[in-house]
Amino acid sequence: MSLAEEEILDEGLYEHYAFTADPGQEQMRVDKWLMHKIANASRSKIQAGIESGAVVVNDKPTKSNYKIKPNDHVRVLLPTAPRDTEVYPENIPLNIVYEDDDLLVVNKPAGMVVHPGHNNYSGTLVNALVYHFGQLPTKDQYHRPGLVHRIDKDTSGLLVIGKTDYALSHLGKQFFEHSIHRRYWALVWGEPKPKDGTIRSYLNRDPSDRRRSKCFESEEDGKLAISHYKTLENFYFTSLVQCELETGRTHQIRAHFSSIKHPLFSDELYGGSEIKKGSALPKFKPFIENCFNIMPRQALHAKELGFIHPTTGENMFFSSELPEDFSTVLNKIRKYTQAAPALLEEED
């Protein structure tokens, strides 16, 4: 069915989502199942939609406690028409790290949105991909050609793109099974304790600010998120950490470090654009404000990416250098701490 035709379904309702359960699907409550299918949808919101009749299973209204069975067809119907999901090609330069017939790896700059969405319908990585590579496969109804995974607009770094249906499916399976190697470098406020550790929580939208993700203790409240970290350098008031993701949730690293009181440096949404430590140091405030001006975004870079090549079976590994804004701020902080070691000890 063409979304452009805006075909009206079921007494004036429009289909926004449609899913078919796998043949081997284990029984699971439909509200919980949909929470894993629809990005950033809370369980309470899904339950409210089910209560209002917006969710049908096999063309019949359902209840939140209905158990999904193999091959069930689930649709979400809403009274408003979905936005035109056509992706238009745009001549935007790409930093291509690697390319073959099956896939490519790109180094995304900070400031570029990965795919069209609310308030960002052009200028995205997907618009550029469609221009440079034409028709690319999609894995679902979200119309995100070639995308296997994504990173935030203001996060820089590596992404793998599938150029064929098989490559997209194979790479997607590796992400689902958590066998993809992903490492990020982040600059965080303070000194995490322990220096090396694991942050584990259940992530969902923050009820008080829907732009943010929030950590919860119960699986009823969100999706499992696990981040392993290792401190690479300490600068007293900030630390450079390496993060390895076991799961890939929205804002996972940003929300996790905020939850342990070490938000990412210059991350306004999660409180990292305020001085958290070192305020008594000489000329510290203007120094930090200058760093914020150089890097007016969260200090987060997707540095390493590794996976099994879908066709050759080869182990592929890629690493990218820190972008100029990140490396400049990092070097300025190194010089500041090296110039005043006695003051830092005195501040302790």
Contact 95, 106 (CB under 8 A): yes
- Residue indicated by tokens 């203007």: 286
Q: Is 22 a catalytic residue?
A: no
d(CA 105, CA 149): 12
Q: Cα–Cα distance between 81 and 65 in angstroms, integer?
A: 28
CA 263-320-225 angle, 5° bins: 40
Element (H, E) at 124: none
Question: Would you state the structure tokens that stand for residue 298, as one six-digit string?
Answer: 């969260």
| Distances, alpha carbon 44 to alpha carbons 36, 64, 142, 260, in Å | 13, 10, 22, 26
Rg, the chain, Cα only: 22
**Residue-level length of the chain:** 348
| Angstrom distance (rounded) from CA 112 to CA 94 | 11
Q: Is 253 helix (H, G, I), strand (E, B) or coil?
A: helix
Check: CB of residue 240 under 8 Å from CB of residue 292.
no
Q: CB-based burial of residue 135 (10 Å sphere; 0-12 exposed, 13-18 middle, 19+ buried)?
A: exposed
Active-site hit among 31, 72, 102, 152 = 152
Give 274-313 as a DSSP string: S--S-TTSTTHHHHHHHHHHH--S--EEEEEEEEE-TTT-
The alpha carbon of 207 is separated from its chain's Cα centroid by a whole number of angstroms, namely 19
**Paired tokens of 112:** 């570029």
The CA-to-CA distance between both ends of the chain, in Å, stands at 65
Residues assigned a catalytic role: 152
